[in-house]
Amino acid sequence: MMRITLRLIASLVIVAASVSFIFSGLQARQEQAHLEQELSRRAAVLAESLQESVEPLLDGGKLDGLHRLVERFADRERLAGVAIYRGDRQPMAMSPRLPVEFQIAPETARQALDGGGAVAGFLTLQGQRWHLQAVPVRAPAGPPGALVLFHNADYIEARGAAVWRHNFLRLLLHVLLISLTTLLIVRWYLTRPMAKTVEWLRRLRIGEPADQGALPHEGLFGPLAREVTHITKTLTVARAAAEEEARLRHTGASRWTPERLKEHLRTTLEGRPLLVIANREPYMHVRQGRQVRWIMPASGLVTAMEPILRACGGTWIAHGAGDADRETADGSGKLRVPPDEPMYTLRRVWLEKQEEDGYYYGFANEGLWPLCHIAHTRPLFRAEDWRHYRQVNMTFAQAAVEEMRGMERPYLLIQDYHFALLPRLIREKRPDARVALFWHIPWPNPEAFGICPWARELLHGMLGADLLGFHTQYHCNNFLDTVDQTLESRIDWEQFAVNRAGHTTWVKPFPISIPVEEPPGGEGPAADAAVAKEAVLKELGLQTRWLGVGVDRIDYTKGIAERFRAIERFLEHYPEFQGQFVFVELGAPSRTLIPRYHELGAELDAEAERINRRFQTRAWKPIVFLQRHHSHEAIQPYYRAADVCVVTSLHDGMNLVAKEYVAARADARGVLVLSRFAGASRELRDALLVNPYDVEQVAAALHAALTMTPEEQTERMTRMRELLRERNIYRWAADLVAELARLRPVRERLTNQG
């Protein structure tokens, strides 16, 4: 490092010295020229005025007068003396201390005599520089002569030398400062961060805990630190996975891990890649100013499906909805993702604006979404939207068929209510494909579903699948009831299957889940929550004893307004919590182009504001509503810090936030208040289950949560964590694919019998 520093300093000094040298030369020359001009100008003026005084004295040969004059003008500042010469170059009068060499008129005087005009010039005599200014003098009656002024011009040379001296000193100072600054900069911005990074990596290598904050994250080392952090994360995860695998093998437990799923799918799929179709893409490229960056959209489906593709590879076909999606994909809309650590392929399907409006915003989200969620928002069914929905299903079918080309008996996992027609379309083109459709949202009862003008077409489309998955048995039953009442078909209530025109579709519950990472080093100490709480409160500039959290896409099915009103009632009933409890709602804006959603954001803001106004003091308010998207990493500290997490969906297929909260509590503390209308309530029986419409009950649950003993919290949390560990997303995927593989021979048998 020292050698680099010295080279850097030497290069900087050479450059600075060269610049200084060139400019000193120029400056010295300019100054000298200026002084010479100045001297010439002054000498000319003085010579002219003396000429007038001398000429009358010449007239009568008044030598005395001339002598007095030349003596008077000797040794004045830089004027060394004056001499008056005759035509024969002999002096008539001459200042006494002028050098003897000037006893004979110099060349300049002769030129003035001959030419009859003023002549000036420099000459050097015995190492001294002189400026001579000569003018002709004559009297009407006398001989012609020349008056010469002798100026000492040494000071002009001296001035040039002074410029050089001055600039040299300045250069020395520069060199000193440059060296010092370079040394400091190198030390601060290179040597120290480099040493830190090396030390950090060393500790990592020998397995000592290395603090993330110790890495330099700014400036030159920023990108390096980011890459290194990334590698470390991958390494830590790999280490944890290996440890977990070893532990599970040791204890004989059969827990699902990414590695196990990978192995399982490799055998089941016999080397075929997994194909997933979902409307939402896991990585969306968006433009921010001049930069393009990617985000992972806030979506339960993405949260659940992404780890599966990461574990097994394959292709995810989705609508390319980001404004920078096209430029980040290849000609066929494909790219490898995650962008910073490619593991599988994302194929983007491009839709026209009206298609997206009709299919996604219109039929899927203004029609099917409210139809399936009984949340008192009326579904809107427009023929135009339905037309687009059908068209987009065909577009995706086309893309899927392209991806399946060359594959024998491909496996296709279709996701959600955006693609009800897709299973049938695929079956028509690829009868050998094994198709599962997983419905991530609830399925209502037959009467509720029956209001959809295209109920029959939707069911017909769905029944093209081999396997239909819902989160709960209750939704499966609702679906079978709906088919029973809507279509000609044979329902097998023992097998939970529908047989229609020779094709059987099995309908089964697969409660979806999340990855549930094991924290390295096992369950964490309770102190983690205190540290997380302090950090979260500091970031938000809040002070409070108790912290509650809600995390949702802003959607009317999530019961966010009901939750706010329950908080209001809680503070009314238990005033001792006023000033002591803050509820942070992290709400990701969603589907904001739909008027109902757009209004909802404003409504919720107004509701939070109203409640805050009612209770707030100068230093405290009960509700902090942050309406923005947060990354999964950014949400984690809130989960770890919150004494209570509140999920009050009016109706929800599963709700992964409830599961994420439990998974985040490695300290086995904290309480989950959970709506009994969320699918998650069927599994998380140790949550405080509530009816979100019952404000009193939710308020009481909040109170019970905040006053629950640590022992009870731990008991409940431990049981829920154990359940989640068993039923994680890898098990979900394994079950779904295994079921799909198992069904086909049965289906073929049934068909043959029929």
Footprint of ligand ADQ (CB under 6 A)? 298-301, 303-304, 440-441, 512, 551-553, 586-588, 629-630, 635, 652-657, 660
Q: Which is nearer to ligand ADQ, 372 or 701 (CB)?
A: 372
Report how far apart, in Å, the C-alpha atoms of 251 and of each of 244, 247, 254 are: 10, 6, 9
Identify whether the C-beta of residue 690 lies closer than 8 Å to the C-beta of residue 676: yes
Q: Which is nearer to ligand ADQ, 411 or 510 (CB)?
A: 510
Find, among 702, 700, 649, 654, the residue nearest to 679 by Cα. 654
**Measured from the CB atom, is 95 or 683 closer to ligand ADQ?**
683
H or E element that contains 57? helix 2-59
Q: Is the CB of residue 708 less than 8 Å from the CB of residue 686? A: no
CB of 609 to ligand ADQ, least distance (A): 19
Contacts of residue 255, Cβ cutoff 8 Å, sequence gap at least 6: 244, 248, 725, 726, 728
- Packing angle, helices 710-726 and 656-664, rounded to 10: 120
Query: What distance in Å separates the CA atoms of residue 213 and residue 208, rounded to the nearest whole number?
Result: 15
261: which DSSP letter? Answer: H
Q: How far is the CB of 368 from ligand ADQ (least distance, A)?
A: 12
User: Considering the complex, what minimum distance in angstroms separates the CB of residue 661 from ligand ADQ?
Assistant: 9
Taking the complex as a whole, how short is the minimal distance between the CB of residue 655 and ligand ADQ, in angstroms?
Answer: 5
Q: If you ran DSSP here, which 8-state letter would residue 573 be given? A: H
List strands edge to edge, sheet with 434-438: 334-337, 344-349, 315-319, 275-277, 411-415, 434-438, 467-470, 503-509, 497-500, 490-492
Closer CB to ligand ADQ, residue 505 or residue 590? 590
Nearer to ligand ADQ, 415 or 504 (CB): 415
> Residue 253 or 593: which CB sits closer to ligand ADQ?
593
Q: Which is nearer to ligand ADQ, 569 or 652 (CB)?
A: 652
Q: Minimum distance from CB of 732 to ligand ADQ (Å)?
A: 10
The DSSP code for 368 is I
Q: Find the shortest distance in angstroms from Cβ 281 to ligand ADQ.
A: 14
| Closest residue to ligand ADQ using C-beta atoms | 300
Q: Tell me which residue has tokens 């509820």.
A: 583
Cα separation of the two ends of the chain: 82
| Least distance from ligand ADQ to the Cβ atom of residue 402, Å | 27
What tokens appear for 739 in the block? 């079921």
The nearer residue to ligand ADQ, 39 or 654, going by C-beta atoms, is 654
CA–chain centroid gap for 676, Å, is: 37
The residues that bridge with 689 in the sheet, in sequence order, are: 674
Q: How far is the CB of 662 from ligand ADQ (least distance, A)?
A: 13
Given CA atoms 738, 739, 745, 748 in this order, what sign does their dihedral have? negative
| Least distance in angstroms from the C-beta of 539 to ligand ADQ | 15
For the bound state, the minimum distance from the C-beta of residue 16 to ligand ADQ, rounded and expressed in Å, comes to 53
Closer residue to ligand ADQ (CB): 577 or 638: 638
Q: How far is the CB of 558 from ligand ADQ (least distance, A)?
A: 7
Amino acid letter, 469? G
- Least distance CB 384 / ligand ADQ (angstroms): 26
CB 294 within 8 A of CB 350: no
The β-bridge partners of 83 are 94, 148
Which of these, 374, 465, 375, 380, lies nearest to 425 by C-alpha position? 465
How many Å separate Cα 565 from the centre of its chain? 35
Nearer to ligand ADQ by C-beta: 106 or 322? Answer: 322
Nearer to ligand ADQ, 221 or 256 (CB): 256
Residue (91 or 300) nearer to ligand ADQ, CB: 300
Closest distance of CB 651 from ligand ADQ, Å: 9
Residue 91 or 637 having the CB closest to ligand ADQ = 637
Query: Using CB atoms within 10 A of its CB, is residue 711 exposed (0-12), middle (13-18) or buried (19+)?
Result: exposed
For β-strands 581-588 and 546-553, DSSP reports them as parallel
Token pair of 35 as six digits: 């002084």
Question: Which residue in the block uniquely carries the two structure tokens 């739909």?
Answer: 594
CB-CB neighbours of 127 under 10 Å: 6
